[in-house]
Amino acid sequence: MGTIITKDRIVIPGQVIAEGMDYLPAKGTFREGESIIATVLGLLRIEGRLINVVPLRGPYLPKAGDVVIGTIEEIGFGGWQVDIGIAYPANLSMKEATKEFIERGADLARYYNFNDIIFATITNVIRLKAVDLSMNGQGLRKLPPGRLIDVDPTKIPRIIGKQGSMISMIKEKTKCQIVVGQNGKAWIKGETAEDELKADQAIRKIEAEGHNEGLTEHMEKFLE
Amino acid sequence: MAYTKRFDGRGFEEIRKMSAEVGIISRAKGSARFQIGDTIAIAAVHGPRELHPRFLRKPDKGVLRCDYDMVSFSVSERKRPGSSRRSMEISHVTGKSIEPVLDLSKYPNTVIDVFITIPQANAGTRCAGICAASLALADAGIPMKDLVVAISVGKAGDKVVMDLTKEEEDHAEGATDIPVAMTPRNGEYTLLQLDGDISKDELKEALVLAKKGCDEIYTLMQKTLRDSFKEKK
Amino acid sequence: MKEYLLGLIKDKKRMDGRGLSTYREPITIETGISKKAEGSARVKIGNTEVNVGVKMELGTPYPDSPDEGTIIVTAELIPLSNPNFESGPPGIQATELARIVDRGIRESHYLDFKKLCVKKGEKIWMVLIDIYSINDEGNLFDAAALGAIAALRDAKVPVIKDDKVQYGELTAKKLPLDKEAPILMTIHKLGDEFIVDPISAEEEAVSARLSIAIKGDRICAMQKGGADGLSLPEVEKAIDLAYTQVEELKKALK
């Protein structure tokens, strides 16, 4: 037999959520004896027997298949080192950087220079110190200079919305191009600085209020 | 002379007025302010980030690094800015009091830095610092098996008391200061220090009192974290 | 971001939508934030926060000014306030900040050093002004200078008994301050334009800065910083811009 102990929507680290072996600890939880306990501050999601806590704040953890926005930090002989907002730079090899043939000894800065912003995918994560990137994939590219903002990575799914509905609405209403990386970065390019500011503020608003009910309506109103 | 009435009029088992807040420093990944009486602690979390020097890195988990310091004008006689033997020791025991609850297995080779500053001091600063640090880590979304809660108990004159003030620490007939940190769910001590002179029975009494104080602080900390997501009207 | 900001500034635009010579709002100043300091203040410009405390100690005067007290300004850019700040003794950034604030107060004679003399040749007041950054989202300079003024105004002289300062016991006596306070404004060159009150991203993109302390209609301290030089017309332009902002910052001090 198992019992759900708490009625809270938001749980905090160390809080006992359920007792008994019927329930299983999934994301953001662990088992201690009979108890299932939250490890992060977040929203409680019970899916059948699985107890999840969806974090409301937290660092980005890279995983293969994620799309991220990064900044070129270092150019080496065999490729680039890219700051994707984690403790150590990610690697972009020549092979994964472009479909073009790069001649031996070529100046790699011609392809991606220092401080260039790229939209890339993660192909492999061994440790935080060994994250590999690739530019092969739809929409992956070098981004022209634009407004680059940091948001809490846990809020990215909210910013994108169901099937991209939220981000589409912001793009449409602000007439901006927007690229969102799962690493908690967003790149904005609009026709005017005012449009870009509006898009920035919209994203910030979702970051601050994303866990509340009625977000879509709030955002519609905000963007009018 | 027996200590019959506390200098600030509190009951012997009464904690000073408290308040707490998270998300106070926008440049940090997580931050908090914790006030107990006139003692204020603020804490900020930076990281997980690259750790130097290299030999401190751990290949299987992240490293917690705590840094405690007091503002020069937090005490009556100006404290010289910068670290001291005292602040180094407190930084160390603060780290040790929090480490047991952290799960840093997802952040190998990195450091999570917690900076604690005391803008105003009236005893119990290391405990207030631990409460602020614990809140800031939760605010940063660092996985934790529990919060860490801390309070100073002890003896002023001939009485076992909760949450000593500076005036009580300087009691003419002697005082004993026992800073305690606990993990509320399993009731384990993660910080236990003592300065003074106390009998075994009095110590036991003081530790029971500490548990009571920690329960009260824990309630406030839970509420603070939850309220940080309340809809702003 | 630098390229982006330089692109915006060509159209005289800033990323948060402000005008080139507009400070973030609100600028708030709270005093008496510390029960242990003789005077204290918290300044917020937008999200940037600085705390300043004034402590007073009795000291011996310098031989060349036996009847004058003095000030000592220290800035601690603590790592709590900015992930790029490091632990340890003050670096050049903190030292420069403290020196600029010091000169603005000293050279404007805002504080009457002669009145800080307790006994000529023997005993003087040393006024220690300590600045702590709490949250650095840009423009710590101007925030720190405002904080120093506000903390000095808040301060009360402590009681002296048997030649010793009785900390915690304050007299009703305020510090000997001039009515007119020196106001520090730092003007930053971004692209070909001059801006005030940069946010962190802008600070990383500016090529030069000029800090100017103005008291009344007089200039009492200046400090040029940043990688690039400034031409004479540019210096004049920066100074003119500073003069337009004095009243705005004075209002915050009220």
C62 domain residue, yes or no: yes
- The answer to whether C1 contacts A193, with C-beta atoms less than 8 Å apart, is no
For residue A8, what is the domain's CATH number? 2.40.50.100
Please provide the average confidence, as pLDDT, over all residues in chain B.
95
> What pTM was computed for the model?
0.96
| Per-residue pLDDT at A212 | 82
- Of B46, B115, B120, Cβ closest to residue C36: B120
Rounded to whole angstroms, the Cα distance separating A81 from C23 reads 37
| Per-residue pLDDT at B231 | 58
Among candidate residues C240, C223, C229, the one with its CA nearest the CA of residue C207: C229
Among candidate residues A54, A46, A8, A42, the one with its CA nearest the CA of residue A24: A46
Rounded to whole angstroms, the Cα distance separating C238 from B220 reads 50
Residues A186 and A172 in one domain: yes
Rounded to whole angstroms, the Cα distance separating B112 from B28 reads 12
Domain count for chain A: 3
Partner B contacted by A37 (CB < 8 A): yes
Contact partners of B by the rule of 3+ C-beta pairs under 8 A? A, C
- The answer to whether C3 contacts A197, with C-beta atoms less than 8 Å apart, is no
Residues A135 and A74 in one domain: yes
For residue A206, what is the domain's CATH number? 3.30.1370.10
| Per-residue pLDDT at A100 | 81
C215 domain residue, yes or no: yes
> In this predicted model, what pLDDT tens digit does every residue of B106-162 receive, in sequence order?
999 999 999 999 999 999 999 999 999 999 999 999 999 999 999 999 999 999 999
A84 domain residue, yes or no: yes
- The answer to whether C128 contacts B121, with C-beta atoms less than 8 Å apart, is no
Chosen for mutation from C2, C4, C9, C18 (greatest number of chain A CBs closer than 10 Å) is: C4
Q: Which domains does chain B have, with CATH numbers?
A: 18-223 (3.30.230.70)
Partner A contacted by B107 (CB < 8 A): yes
Closest chain A C-alpha to C15 CA, distance in angstroms? 7
| Per-residue pLDDT at A28 | 96
Partner A contacted by B214 (CB < 8 A): no
- Chain C residues with CB under 8 Å of A147 CB are 1, 4, 15
Are C36 and B75 contacting, i.e. CB atoms less than 8 angstroms apart? yes
| Other CB atoms within 10 A of residue C10 CB | 10
Domain boundary among A143, A169, A195: A143
- Chain A residues with CB under 8 Å of C8 CB are 193
| Per-residue pLDDT at B233 | 40
Closest chain C C-alpha to B49 CA, distance in angstroms? 10
Here the contacts of A29-32 (C-beta below 8 Å, separation 24 or greater) are A29/A53, A30/B103, A30/B145, A32/B145
- Chain B residues with CB under 8 Å of A88 CB are 50, 109-110
> In this predicted model, what pLDDT tens digit does every residue of B188-227 receive, in sequence order?
999 999 999 999 999 999 999 999 999 999 999 999 999 9
- The answer to whether B28 contacts C83, with C-beta atoms less than 8 Å apart, is yes
> In this predicted model, what pLDDT tens digit does every residue of B62-95 receive, in sequence order?
999 999 999 999 999 999 998 899 999 999 999 9
With a cut of 50, which residues of chain C have pLDDT below it? none
Rounded to whole angstroms, the Cα distance separating C43 from C197 reads 14
A62 domain residue, yes or no: no
Task: Name the DSSP letter for residue C114.
Answer: G
Are B116 and B129 contacting, i.e. CB atoms less than 8 angstroms apart? yes
> Which of residues 186 through 225 in chain C touch A, CB cutoff 8 A?
none
Q: Three-state SS for B154?
A: strand
Distance between first and last Cα of chain C = 36
C235 domain residue, yes or no: yes
* Nearest Cα residue in chain C from B68: C80
Q: Which domain holds residue A118?
A: 67-143
**Is the ipTM above a cut-off of 0.85?**
yes
A60 domain residue, yes or no: no
Instruction: Give me the mean pLDDT over the B175-191 stretch.
Output: 96
C28 domain residue, yes or no: yes
- Chain B residues with CB under 8 Å of C88 CB are 82
Chosen for mutation from B21, B27, B72 (greatest number of chain C CBs closer than 10 Å) is: B27
C3 domain residue, yes or no: no
| Per-residue pLDDT at A216 | 87
Domain boundary among A143, A174, A203: A143
| Per-residue pLDDT at B36 | 98
Domain count for chain C: 1
Task: Name the DSSP letter for residue A198.
Answer: H
Residues A161 and A173 in one domain: yes
Domain boundary among A124, A143, A162: A143
For residue A95, what is the domain's CATH number? 2.40.50.140
pLDDT along chain A (224 residues), means of 10: 87 96 95 96 95 96 96 92 95 90 82 95 87 95 95 95 94 96 97 96 92 86 88
- The answer to whether B146 contacts A14, with C-beta atoms less than 8 Å apart, is yes
For residue C59, what is the domain's CATH number? 3.30.230.70
C5 domain residue, yes or no: no
